[in-house]
Amino acid sequence: MVSGEFWHLCLNTVIYVHITSWRYGKLAIENLFWLGYVGAFGGLLFAFIQIRKVMAYPEGSEKMVKISEAIRQGANAYMYRQYTTVTIFFLSMFILLMILSIFGLVNQFTPYAFITGGFFTGLSGFIGMRIATYANVRTANAAQTGLNKALRVAFSSGSVMGFVVNGLGLLDLTTWFLLLKFVFKVSDADIAQTMVTFGMGIASMAMFARVGGGIFTKAADVGADLVGKVEAGIPEDDPRNPAVIADNVGDNVGDVAGMGADLYESNSNAIVATIALGFAAGYGYAGFLLPILVSTVGVICSIIGTFFVRTKEKANQKSLLRSLHSGVFVAGGLAALATIPLTLWLSHASGPDMWSIRWGMLIAVFAGIVSGFIVSYSTEHFTSDAAKPTRDLAQSSETGTATLMIGGLSLGMKSTAGPILAVSIAAIISFTVSGGFAGNEMAGLYSIGLAAVAMLATNAIILATDAFGPVADNAGGIAEMAKLPPEVRERTDALDSLGNTTAATGKGFAISSTAFTALALLAAYVNEANTSLGALGLAELDLRLTNPAVLIGLFVGGALAFVFAAFCISGVHRAAQSVVIEVRRQFREIAGLMEGTADADYAKCVDICTINAQKEMIAPSILAVLAPIVTGLVLGPAGVVGMLGGVIASGFCMAIFMLNAGGAWDNAKKYIEAGNHEGKGSDNHKAAVIGDTVGDPLKDTAGPSFNILITLASTVSIVFVGVATRFSIIDLIRNISIG
């Protein structure tokens, strides 16, 4: 059996790596570059096996195949259009970076690093989405025989995404590093800059994918619901609804491709930030190797974890969740254990001066993992309909829509406290134990970065438990449209609702790891800026919070998070209005549609979503790229630091607020639909449906985009640091007023 073989292979590799490394100590370190490829190809190979597994399942009836093809075509059409739009942006930035490199403001590798970053991010999302559009119909078909089989198909499809993301991430990070270090033999500073530009490309593509996909999926969802469910009174996923295919396409381009790109970004940029700081801390090659190895170990442990995900046929929500959790916990536990010798050895191997902080690194790794779980737990507590907050929220529907809205807003705002405290405490612990306060500031910050890497090490399996949700959702849609027996829909619904809960974990990890990554990138920025200023013969940055440039930057950063959110939300708002108008038109103009004798023009709705999502994604994405550049030109590098501080603090709170408010509204609705507070069809339920609709763009478009906003703004700042240190208005004024 393949599972047994893998188990052995993986375990042996881990043991071999540890024993060999420990024995050879420092001697071996320069020759261990290939270990990154173990994780990369291990992950990709496993993903490939999962693809074959998924494809081996039968597709079901002709009708199901036809529906699934329509969804796939729509998704492909969207992706094609998105890549076309994005190409223009990438080419412009490529040219800009070329020009900057001619003037020596960035090194000559950055344009290519930027392009490849974008390419691999897009590729991750695309592969994951592609397989999801094949897996949806197979899941629906498997659900005809049983729950366990359906879970296996959907989960395998989710695994593809998970392992492609981490495998590709390791592949190109390792390759870039090795090329720069051993082939082009460039300086450490240039390696750091190139890697960060690579990260900027990743974040740019992730931003387009997340925001564009998020707008598509919510515009289709809201549009389909508003006219179909509310006005026409037909059930969800009814084939008579012209937006039904668009809705299912949305799951794939938003919840799969968008999320994949997003987590590719979180994972890769955590590593990039840590590597960049590794140079600043003087760790050199070991500073690069450690995050890569932690990530590699994570991939291997994730592979092992997947074999623990299985369920009995008579499974309920609870046992399903337990089965998924067991996979995640096995992977996490193994990875944590494996990290212990790895960290101790590598910190030892890289010289006696690092020996003193090896425990610090180890504690940082654990602090990161623990805080990630606390944030996930907090998210689950505030959004699960088994817990008090969401039940209270459902209760408040009894006094009407207004109180339900107020309740959700205050729930979301209140829920920011726990995650902020967890992340803050973990960061301060990581910094302190690594000697950050004892004069070794860069080491402390490196450990903060490492905490983020560790948190995302088993990203592959977390993402797998997350990405199967939309596949199950799609399967349910296909079952409904193909008029499969009701128990099929029940099974896919069980999987779908499970996916909603596990999605909370994934989002919790994404945003909290980003907080750490952002701190690391901020430090990297300061380092780069001071180097640049030093080269210009200027004094170091005045980063005191009382420097008005920093303070005003802080204000601007705070507002940036709000305006960005507004763009995302109003993008959905406008796009949904267009869908509403089109669906109403089709109901009005296509004779026989409601009677089921004529087909709706599904492609038209997909088209409208595509066009609008493309149009609306531009403003928030460009805002995130331009804000740091303009801030740098006006307020100088110190202002940029303030702005980054503002957008991190504000963006983190906004993300938690929106994710939890939206999640709670969603689950309050489900709780009422389960028969509580007078159940489906009551006034309370109507109020809850409104709450859910309001929460949709918050939790699926704006909320999950803040982490990308934060890293994108940070990486753009670093890449354009040379511009800010040379050409800012504030420095001009300062020079005039001093001189």
Residues 144-183 that bind a second copy (CB under 8 A): none
Give dist(CA 120, CA 112) in Å, integer: 12
Of 239 and 636, the one with the shorter C-beta distance to a second copy is 636
Q: Which of 570, 578, 676, 682 binds a second copy (CB under 8 A)?
A: 570
Answer positive or negative: Cα dihedral of 414, 416, 419, 422.
negative
699: which DSSP letter?
A: I
Q: Is 733 in the site for a second copy (CB under 8 A)?
A: yes
Residue 520 one-letter amino acid: A
Q: Is 27 in the site for a second copy (CB under 8 A)?
A: no
Q: Is 402 in the site for a second copy (CB under 8 A)?
A: yes
Minimum distance, C-beta of residue 238 to a second copy, in the bound complex (Å): 19
Q: Is 403 in the site for a second copy (CB under 8 A)?
A: yes
Task: Give Cα 710 distance to the centre of its chain.
Answer: 12
Minimum distance, C-beta of residue 342 to a second copy, in the bound complex (Å): 25
Radius of gyration of the chain (CA): 25
Which residues are CB-neighbours of 627 under 8 A, at least 6 positions away?
556, 560, 643, 647, 713
Which residues are CB-neighbours of 71 under 8 A, at least 6 positions away?
133, 136, 245, 248, 249, 252, 474, 478
Cα distances (Å, whole numbers) of residue 57 to 25, 70, 221, 410, 477: 47, 19, 29, 46, 19
Q: Is 572 in the site for a second copy (CB under 8 A)?
A: yes
Of 31 and 735, the one with the shorter C-beta distance to a second copy is 735
Binders of a second copy among residues 196 to 235 (CB under 8 A) are 222, 226, 230
How many residues interact with a second copy (rule CB under 8 A)? 91
Minimum distance, C-beta of residue 734 to a second copy, in the bound complex (Å): 4
Residue 252 one-letter amino acid: N
Q: Give helix 486-535 / helix 459-481 axis angle, nearest 10°.
A: 140
Minimum distance, C-beta of residue 580 to a second copy, in the bound complex (Å): 6
Q: Is 109 in the site for a second copy (CB under 8 A)?
A: no
Minimum distance, C-beta of residue 713 to a second copy, in the bound complex (Å): 15
Task: Point out which span in 330-338, 455-463, 548-556, 588-596 binds a second copy (CB under 8 A).
Answer: 548-556
Binders of a second copy among residues 550 to 569 (CB under 8 A) are 550-552, 554-559, 561-563, 565-567, 569
Of 20 and 399, the one with the shorter C-beta distance to a second copy is 399
Give dist(CA 123, CA 382) in Å, integer: 34
Answer positive or negative: Cα dihedral of 541, 542, 545, 551.
negative
Q: Which of 19, 56, 91, 438 binds a second copy (CB under 8 A)?
A: 438
Q: Which of 9, 428, 611, 630 binds a second copy (CB under 8 A)?
A: 428
Closest CA to 276 of 479, 520, 47: 520
Of 566 and 611, the one with the shorter C-beta distance to a second copy is 566
Task: Point out which span in 5-13, 117-125, 667-675, 727-735 binds a second copy (CB under 8 A).
Answer: 727-735
Task: Point out which span in 157-165, 300-308, 440-448, 450-458 binds a second copy (CB under 8 A).
Answer: 440-448
Contact 250, 696 (CB under 8 A): no
Pair of tokens at residue 174: 């390792």
CA torsion, points 662, 663, 666, 670, in degrees to nearest 10? -160
Binders of a second copy among residues 502 to 521 (CB under 8 A) are 515, 519
Longest CA–CA separation in the chain, Å = 82
Give dist(CA 184, CA 171) in Å, integer: 18
Binders of a second copy among residues 594 to 633 (CB under 8 A) are none
Contact 365, 506 (CB under 8 A): no
Q: Is 60 in the site for a second copy (CB under 8 A)?
A: no
Q: Is 414 in the site for a second copy (CB under 8 A)?
A: yes
Q: Is 732 in the site for a second copy (CB under 8 A)?
A: no
Task: Point out which span in 2-10, 144-152, 652-660, 676-684 binds a second copy (CB under 8 A).
Answer: 652-660
Contact 718, 524 (CB under 8 A): yes
Binders of a second copy among residues 445 to 464 (CB under 8 A) are 445, 448
Q: Which of 291, 697, 703, 722 binds a second copy (CB under 8 A)?
A: 697
Closest CA to 643 of 537, 535, 563, 583: 563
Contact string (CB under 8 A) for a second copy, positions 655-674, x = contact:
--x-----------------
Minimum distance, C-beta of residue 518 to a second copy, in the bound complex (Å): 9
